[in-house]
Amino acid sequence: MSRATAPSKENCIDGYKYVFNKDLLKDKVAFVTGGGTGIGFTIAEVLMRHGCDTVIASRRLDKLQESAATLEAATGRKCIPVQMDVRDPKKVQQAVGEAMRRFGKINFLINSAAGNFLCPAEGLSFNAFKTVMDIDAMGTFNATKVVFDEYMKNHGGVIINVTATLQVRGQVYQCHAGCAKAAIETMTKHLAVEWGEKGIRLMCVAPGPIADTEGFSRLGGKAIRDDYIKTIPVQRLGKREDIANTVLYCISDAAQLLTGTTVIADGGAWLTSENNLGRIRRIVEMYSKL
Ligand code: COA
Ligand code: NAP
C-alpha cells in the first residue's frame, strides 16, 4: 500500500478535537515561516482555532494567498500572507515589518520553513549542502533575530523551531539536513540561555515521519509500506495535527518551564526505525518506480 503525498491545495482539519480551551491564544499573534503548506499550515490553523491571528511567510505568494483564505474561512481569525525568502535578511525585515504594521505585535514565532531531499553525501554538490544549511539554519537565525529586534526584545515571547530526528542518529542520505537541524537545536539552547531574562522561551519540536506532507514524500514516503509502520512504537505515522498540537502545548503557559530543549514528536520512530544504506537504497529504488 503506498502512502499519499502532499496535497496540491492545503486542507484544514476535518472535525478538530479541542484539548485546550478555545480561547487559549485569544488575540495573540503568530508569525509562521513556511506557513503556506504542510506542517506549517496546520500549525497556523491550530493556533488560529485557539484565537490567534497569524502571518504566514514564504517564497510563493500565490500559494500563501490561497492558504490564508482557507485558514481564515475555517477559523474566523485573520491570516496575512507575506512573501519572503528566509535566506534574505532584508526580505525578512520587510515581512516582519509588515506583520508589525498589521498587528503591532508578534507573540510567537514558528520557524517551519525548510528545504530537503534524499541525497548520498558523496553526491551532494557544495551548493546543495549550502542551500539546505542556508534555508534551515541561516533562515531560522534570520527570522529569529529580526523578530527579536522588532518585538520580543522588549515584550518577550515564544519561539518554536521545527527540526527533525535525522540529526539524532546521523540518518542515511541526510547529512545536509541533519547538520542544519543540529545547528538549529544548538542555536535554540544558546538563545534560550541569553534571552530567558527577557521573557523569551525557545524550543524545538522534532517531527518524525508525518503523512501527507512534502517532506515525507521527498524522503521516500510514497514507498513506505505497512511493515515499516509496524516498526513504529505507536504503530502509525504522525499527522500534521500531532505536530500542531505539540507546538500549541509548547507555546502555552502550561510549558512555562520549557526552554532550550527539544520535544521529539514521532511516536518513538527514531528509536526503532532502520538506519542503514540497504534500506534507504531499497526505498529510493522503489520510489523511482512509483
Ligand atoms: N539532490 C541533490 N542535489 C540537489 C537536489 C537533489 N534532489 N535538489 C537540489 N539540489 C542541488 C542543486 O543541484 C543545486 O546545487 P548546484 O548549484 O551545485 O547544482 C542546489 O541544490 C540548490 O538547488 P536550487 O534548486 O537552486 O535551490 P532552491 O533554493 O531553488 O531550492 C531546494 C531549494 C533545493 C531545497 C528545493 O527543493 C526547495 O525549494 N524545497 C522546499 C520544499 C521542501 O524541501 N520541503 C520539504 C521540507 S523537509
Ligand atoms: P513543506 O510543506 O515543503 O514546508 C516547507 C515550507 O518552507 C514551504 O511552505 C516552503 O514554501 C517554505 N520554504 C522553503 N524554502 C524557503 C525559503 N527559502 N524561504 C521561505 N520559505 C521557504 O514541508 P513539510 O514536510 O511540511 O515540512 C515542514 C517542516 O517540518 C520543515 O522544517 C521540515 O524539516 C520539518 N519536518 C518534516 C517532516 C515530515 O515528515 N514532513 C519530518 C521531520 C521534520 P515556499 O516554497 O513558498 O517558499
The model's pLDDT over 148-158, given as tens digits with 9 standing for 90+, comes to: 999 999 999 99
Query: Looking at residue 157, what DSSP letter applies?
Result: E
Q: Would you call 265 helix, strand, or coil by DSSP?
A: strand
Quote the cell numbers at residue 11.
486542507
User: Closest ligand 1 atom, CA of 213?
Assistant: 46
Q: What percentage of residues in the chain have a pLDDT greater than 70?
A: 98
Could you tell me which residues come within 8 angstroms of residue 210 by beta carbon, excluding any fewer than 6 positions away?
39, 216, 237, 238, 239, 240, 242, 243
Q: Would the CB of 114 count as within 6 Å of ligand 1? A: yes
The mean of the pLDDT values for the chain is 95
pLDDT of residue 202 exceeding 80, the answer is yes
pLDDT at residue 5, as a whole number: 60
Say what the pLDDT of residue 46 is: 99
Pocket test for ligand 1, best of 42, 91, 111, 117 (most atoms within 8 A of CB): 117
Could you tell me the pLDDT band of residue 2, with boundaries at 50, 70 and 90?
very low
pLDDT score of 289: 75
Pick the more confident residue, 277 or 101. Answer: 101
Instruction: Assign 133 a pLDDT band (cuts: 50, 70, 90).
Output: very high
Cα 129 to ligand 1 centre (Å): 9
Q: Which one-letter amino acid corresponds to residue 244? A: A
User: Residue 146: left if φ>0, alpha if ψ -120 to 50, beta else—which one?
Assistant: alpha
Q: Is the pLDDT of residue 6 over 90?
A: no
Q: What is the mean pLDDT of residues 211-230?
A: 89
Choose the most confident range, by mean pLDDT, from 185-194, 225-234, 273-282. 185-194
Cβ of residue 286 lying under 6 Å from some atom of ligand 1: no
CB neighbour burial string for 172-195, b if at least 16 within 10 angstroms, e if fewer = bbbbbbbbbbbbbbebbeebbeeb
Question: Among 53-67, 181-195, 226-240, 272-286, whose mean pLDDT is lowest?
Answer: 272-286
Residue closest via CA to ligand 1's atom 14 equals 128
Does residue 209 surpass a pLDDT of 60? yes
**60 CB under 6 A from ligand 2?**
yes
Task: Kindly tell me if the per-residue pLDDT of 70 is higher than 90.
Answer: yes
Give the number of the atom of ligand 1 that is nearest the alpha carbon of residue 219. 48
Stretch 165-187: mean pLDDT: 97
Neighbours of 93 (CB within 10 A): 16
CB distance 214 to ligand 1 below 6 Å: yes
Please state the rounded mean pLDDT for residues 107-121. 98
What is the Cα–Cα distance from 55 to 103, expressed in whole angstroms?
Answer: 9
Rounded-to-integer distance, Cα 139 and Cα 124, Å: 20
Cβ(220) to ligand 1 under 6 A?
no
> What would the pLDDT profile of 232-263 be if each residue is shown by its tens digit?
999 999 999 999 999 999 999 999 999 999 99
Alpha helix locations (H) across the chain? 38-49, 61-75, 89-103, 126-132, 139-147, 153-155, 166-169, 175-195, 214-218, 226-229, 240-251, 269-272, 277-289
d(CA 28, ligand 1 centre) in Å: 34
* CA 78/CA 80 separation, integer angstroms: 7
Ordered structural domains, the chain, with CATH: 29-211+238-271 (3.40.50.720)
